[in-house]
Amino acid sequence: MADDGTHESGDGGAVNDVALDPWGSSTVDDYRKLFEEFGIESFDDVLPRVPSPHYLMRRGVIFGHRDYRPVAEAMLEGEPFATLSGFMPTGDPHIGHKLVFDELIWHQKQGADAYGLIADMEAHAARGLSWDEIDEHTESYLLSLLALGFDPEEGTLYRQSTNRDVQDLAFELGTKANASELGAIYDFDGETEVSYMQSVVTQMADILYPQLGEPKPTVIPVGPDQDPHMRLARDLAGRMRYFGVTEAYASFELGDDERELVADAYEALAAEADDPESGVRCHDAAEWLRSERPPVGPLESAIETLDAGGKEPLRPRVRFLNRNATDEAFEALIEAVEGEKRVYEGHIDSFELSRSEAEELARAVETDYGGYGFLPPSSIYHRFMTGLTGGKMSSSVPASHISLLDDPEDGYEKVKSATTGGRETAEKQRELGGEPDECPVYELYAYLLSGDDDEFATRVYEECAGGERLCGGCKEQAAELMAGFLEEHQEKREEAKEVLDGLDVDLESDRRQ
């Protein structure tokens, strides 16, 4: 979740050919594999629901999301929502970080409670930086965030190491995670330092921190390498809940795959029954499933469970599962469920509530009785910027990136020296056109230099692809725009120093080295 801008190779969290390592990997050769193998959805699917989308969304730089719809709905309806992202201060902020800064600031302007954090505990544990080194970069990240438009009066800035609420929440989240699980997700082993593991749980607390006062949709803008953090945070949010809400058909519990099969059987049999509420029984559904397909996998276990249910009627219902509730909270939920219901030792079945109504009721009772009521956090994913020299953009290779602290003239020269997607000669460029999709310089236009001007970004692309735009003139224009951006940004950083001085953020740590 925290981004230090370094993108070296790694194999953590590998599935087939895709590797997602929050502290290493940066390049994803085929972003479509993320949809198939990790369940990340295409942002194009939700884009029509986003009011006045940011240009990074419109241009496909933000390419994917995980459960962004509740955030979009909150924006449309004027309901509370939040956004948070963290920055690991291992070097100077650069143009890659600007993507996340911009996403955070845009959501704040859309009405989000915005949180920006310095992941100093992660930098110390995962990167081995001293507290002096961390302090050296902390101010710089915050100044750039403020200079780009983050409103500290309407938002929250903090360091992990000084936020006691985050650390207390991390302790509680740690009761729902174990070393084996962290090892499976992050390739931790017996040699991994405990503080490294602790920094992961602290990041989970960061992600859920905006919901401490009130459960609300929350979006975390990240690169796809941070997705392992998001999956774990969503799992932990559910494990902390007092109640789980599922759909059910009888007194016994079914797995997700089994439930879908039983639903198919019930719908088919209910359509033929005179009285569906009493006329469809477990053994009927078992026979129907046997007749439909070979009993293997989830189907075999569903049939076995239905056979054991015998003549018990099948009836659709919503089930409240008691996960972590206090006795008082469980009793309160029993009282709160109106209409026909069945109360069991570990769950309550309601025959009249919809699932959405049940989830709302469960969360209300939970928060009334001291629970967190967390909503699963959402995330959006942006493409990685290509390094100016081709390949990865890396903080350890100065020529591959432009620091937000670079002298404008140095920024100008880096762009002028950048690799392009042009042809070998001007003649071939005019004949065949350039390859803007393979060009680090065009990325600068699309990600930064065109700003909100889609027409300009499109014109650059089409002129390049059509052979009208040659690389020399294109780089000259980009270099001048970059120098102008850096000059303006650094002036705003100077102005932001007075603002930062007035904020309650510790720029120097009192921790021992």
Q: What is the pLDDT of residues 293-323, one digit of tens each?
A: 777 789 999 999 999 999 999 999 999 999 9
Does residue 77 sit in the same domain as residue 114?
A: yes
* Sign for the pseudo-dihedral over CA of 312, 313, 314, 320: negative
Q: Can you give the CATH number for the domain in which 183 is found?
A: 3.40.50.620
Instruction: Copy the structure tokens of residue 131.
Output: 């507290």
Answer whether residue 343 is part of any domain.
Answer: yes
How many angstroms separate the CA atoms of 42 and 34, rounded?
A: 9
Half-sphere exposure of residue 112, counting CA atoms within 13 Å on the CB side? 30
Single-letter amino acid, residue 123: A
Does residue 197 sit in the same domain as residue 134?
A: yes
Which range of residues forms the domain containing residue 172? 2-240+376-382
Answer whether residue 392 is part of any domain.
Answer: no
Does residue 202 sit in the same domain as residue 248?
A: no
23: nearest Cα among 41, 48, 6, 38: 6
Residue 278 banded pLDDT, cuts 50, 70, 90: low
Q: What was the pLDDT predicted at 273? A: 81
Does residue 145 sit in the same domain as residue 206?
A: yes
One-character DSSP codes across 154-215: TSEEEEGGG-HHHHHHHHHHHTT--HHHHHHHH---TTS-HHHHHHHHHHHHHHHGGGSSS-
User: pLDDT of 250-265, one tens digit each?
Assistant: 999 999 999 999 999 9
How many angstroms separate the CA atoms of 190 and 201, rounded?
A: 18
Residue 3 banded pLDDT, cuts 50, 70, 90: low
Does residue 339 sit in the same domain as residue 441?
A: no
Residue 52 predicted with pLDDT over 70: yes
Q: What was the pLDDT predicted at 10? A: 32
Answer whether residue 332 is part of any domain.
Answer: yes
| Span of 100-104, 159-163, 185-189 with lowest mean pLDDT | 185-189
Answer whether residue 513 is part of any domain.
Answer: no
Q: Residue 511, class by beta-carbon neighbours within 10 Å (0-12 exposed, 13-18 middle, 19+ buried)? A: middle
67: nearest Cα among 210, 218, 237, 205: 218
380 within 8 A of 263, measured Cβ to Cβ: no
Does residue 140 sit in the same domain as residue 256?
A: no
Buried b (16+ CB within 10 A) or exposed e, 268-296: ebbeeeeebeeebbbbbbbbbbeeeeeee
DSSP-derived secondary structure letter, 226: G
Instruction: Copy the structure tokens of residue 264.
Output: 């198919």
Total tally of structural domains belonging to the chain: 3
How many angstroms separate the CA atoms of 251 and 308, rounded?
A: 11
Q: Can you give the CATH number for the domain in which 452 is found?
A: 1.10.240.10
Does residue 267 sit in the same domain as residue 147?
A: no
Answer whether residue 393 is part of any domain.
Answer: no
Q: Is 124 helix (H, G, I), strand (E, B) or coil?
A: helix
Does residue 271 sit in the same domain as residue 357?
A: yes
Kind and range of the H or E element at 264?
Answer: helix 256-270
Instruction: Copy the structure tokens of residue 110.
Output: 């859309």
> Quick one: average pLDDT of 199-218?
97
Residue 9 predicted with pLDDT over 70: no
One-character DSSP codes across 97-110: HHHHHHHHHHHHHT
Residue 17 predicted with pLDDT over 90: no
How many angstroms separate the CA atoms of 364 and 148, rounded?
A: 38
Kind and range of the H or E element at 321?
Answer: strand 317-322
Answer whether residue 173 is part of any domain.
Answer: yes
Answer whether residue 511 is part of any domain.
Answer: no
Q: What was the pLDDT predicted at 39? A: 86
Strand partners, 382: 62
Does residue 82 sit in the same domain as residue 172?
A: yes
Answer whether residue 166 is part of any domain.
Answer: yes
Does residue 181 sit in the same domain as residue 292?
A: no
- Listed residues 382, 407, 425: the one ending a domain: 382
Does residue 217 sit in the same domain as residue 250?
A: no
How many angstroms separate the CA atoms of 84 and 218, rounded?
A: 8
237: nearest Cα among 265, 258, 267, 216: 216
- Listed residues 355, 382, 409: the one ending a domain: 382
**Quick one: the chain helix, strand, coil %, rounded to 5?**
50, 10, 35
The 10 Å Cβ neighbour count of residue 400 is 24
Instruction: Copy the structure tokens of residue 3.
Output: 């981004």
Does residue 353 sit in the same domain as residue 405?
A: no
By percentage, how much of the chain surpasses pLDDT 90?
Answer: 78
Residue 22 predicted with pLDDT over 90: no
